[in-house]
Chain A
Amino acid sequence: MKPYFFGSSQQPLFGVYHPARSGSLRPGGIVICQPFGSEYLRAHRSLRELAHRLAEAGFPVLRFDYYGCGDSGGASETGHVERWLEDIVAAIEEVREASGTSKVALVGLRLGATLAALVGSQREDVDRLVLWEPIVSGEQYLGELAQRHRAFFEGRPKPRDLRESDPPQELLGFAVPPRLRETLARLDLRRLARRPARRILLLGNQADPIDRLSEHLTWLGARPDYEKISGARVWVREAELNQAVVPQTVLEKITAWFDESHA
């Protein structure tokens, strides 16, 4: 495992490269696309574990933080969707260079899944794509974050002079400035115009929007492997900031899918 910065020296991105276990190299590097904000923090351990498992199964993997997120360069107020799409493209080039393989797969969780699907639909070279509980509608996502933000502060201390704006400029510990809000609100995977990858694994437990996404992907000719999962919402659990919970079943499913789709 190698932690390092890549991209431009002025706006570096932090990544952790997991080389494939020696002697078992499979063709195709994998880029893991993280969720945003508090979901990113809560899912960190699970995605680290996933990267480790995929590398053990023979795939070179790059996990990375978007600009203005995690350890990457930039203040938290500077990130927005277009920039993060460019970051995924940079990570694709990076994993190719690091692994010496041309095939690329993307694995995304929550907003990371949405961004991965968008990048995939803009390129020809994304071979496989895992959409783990993707955010189908950016507008609904913002509403959900706002609701969780309000719920978090129920019965908790808050500065008396706090000026809350509408729409809120921060959600669950992270700035949501106008550009980020606008670019998030425009996201809608049901409007995806092209098939994002040759093979797709869709994992979700919010039946309705993900059902419709599955139908839309099928209409685009992608025929996703759609599996409903339950009880694995590690990115919103209340306790996992102190208890590192990892959804083993989901990680096994993803690793097995890569294994099989390469068989």
Chain B
Amino acid sequence: MNEKALLFGESKSLVGVVTDPEPGAGPGHRPGVIILNAGALHRVGPNRLHVRLARALAEAGFVVLRFDLSGIGDSRRRDGSESFARSAVQEGQQAMDFLSESRGIERFMLFGICSGADNGLQVAYRDLRVVGAVLIDGYNLPSLGRLLHFYRSRLLSARSWGRFLIGRSQTWSLFRSMASARKADRGAESAEETILPTRLELLALLRSIADRGVDLLLVYTGASPAYYNYRKLLHRSLRSWPSRERVRVEHFEDSDHLFTLLCNQRRLVDLVTAWAARVGPAP
């Protein structure tokens, strides 16, 4: 395995690290793997998880590119007025273009946590080169249920309320995100580039990708509000999909959103590596 740092993309401003497997590692002709930013964290990922994953996948024969979207990590802010949602999709495609041009790879798998999962889903929907996607805690659709479950302990704590009243707590951020999510939800009908679909739109999106033959690994942590919001809906819906065999759903109920504990990091890397090896072989 060896790693190279690079600048790529239309204006050579996207910073990435490509991990190449040793010659002979794995069965060959594996899809390339693109790792997308989790929130505003730079490409090494939460707790360096992306680096660990990239190296484990390379050991199994995959070429892996982790990179920063414009304005995140080391990549320069983009010029122009394009929305982040739209440019994130384009830059995900530019990452695939780079591996196509430099390594001759034509099929890809995507990996994303949180906003990385949201962007990954949009790239998978729009680009036929995608044959697999690992989407973790994607589309954190907020609801009152989320508030009550996720913040139960904080709502019961006097210190939390103190912080809430002075506007410094995560609970405030949650209220703010709920307000903006409602706004985004309303806009979803008209704005093509919105990244926050309704639950039903999200299921339709997942289904259309799976029906196209894309393998999906959906992972939800115990801290994922999406997990509590549409777990039942997802399972019920999946039963009627002809492509249900392509969709695997895994729950990490005892993990936080960022896989802070090492045992959960290892479990996730093992899961993704084993899953990728099964979906990876050339058709």
Interface residues of A (CB under 8 A from B): 1-5, 9, 12, 14, 16, 38, 41, 44-45, 48, 69-71, 73, 75-76, 152-160, 162, 169-170, 172-175, 238-244
Contacts and interface: CB of A to CB of B under 8 A. Distances in A.
A5 B19 CA distance: 12
Contacts of B72: 244
A242 B153 contact: no
Per CB-CB distance, the 6 closest pairs between chain A and chain B, nearest first, are A155-B153, A173-B47, A157-B222, A3-B5, A159-B254, A242-B39
Nearest to A152: B260
Nearest to B253: A157
Contacts of A44: 41-42, 73
B233 interface: no
A144 to B, nearest CB: 17
Nearest to A44: B42
7 contacts: A38-B47, A44-B42, A71-B43, A75-B52, A76-B48, A154-B153, A162-B263
A71 B47 contact: no
Contact of B256 (A41, A156, A160, A162): A156
B44 A41 contact: yes
Interface of B: 2-7, 15, 17, 39-44, 46-48, 51-52, 72-74, 76, 152-154, 170, 173, 221-223, 253-256, 258-265
Contacts of B265: 173
B261 A158 contact: yes
A244 to B, nearest CB: 5
Nearest to A169: B262
Contacts of A244: 40, 72
Contact of A70 (B7, B44, B154, B221): B44
Contacts of B17: 3, 14, 71
A205 to B, nearest CB: 17
A156 B221 CA distance: 11
Contact of B261 (A2, A38, A159, A239): A159
B254 A175 contact: no
A253 B7 CA distance: 31
B170 A158 contact: no
Nearest to A76: B48
A241 B258 contact: yes
Contacts of A152: 256, 260
Nearest to B51: A71
Nearest to B73: A44
Contacts of A9: 2
A157 B253 CA distance: 7
Contacts of B42: 41, 44-45
Contacts of B5: 3-5, 14, 71
A160 B261 CA distance: 12
B223 A156 contact: yes
A8 B66 CA distance: 22
A243 B72 CA distance: 11
A238 B170 CA distance: 8
A45 B40 CA distance: 9
A244 B261 CA distance: 23
Contact of B74 (A12, A16, A75): A16
A214 to B, nearest CB: 30
A48 B71 CA distance: 12
Nearest to A3: B5
A178 to B, nearest CB: 15
Nearest to A243: B40
Contacts of A73: 3
B103 to A, nearest CB: 18
Contacts of B222: 157
Nearest to A65: B44
B257 to A, nearest CB: 9
A160 B260 contact: no
B173 A239 contact: yes
Given A14-B5, A158-B254, A244-B40, A70 B264 contact: no
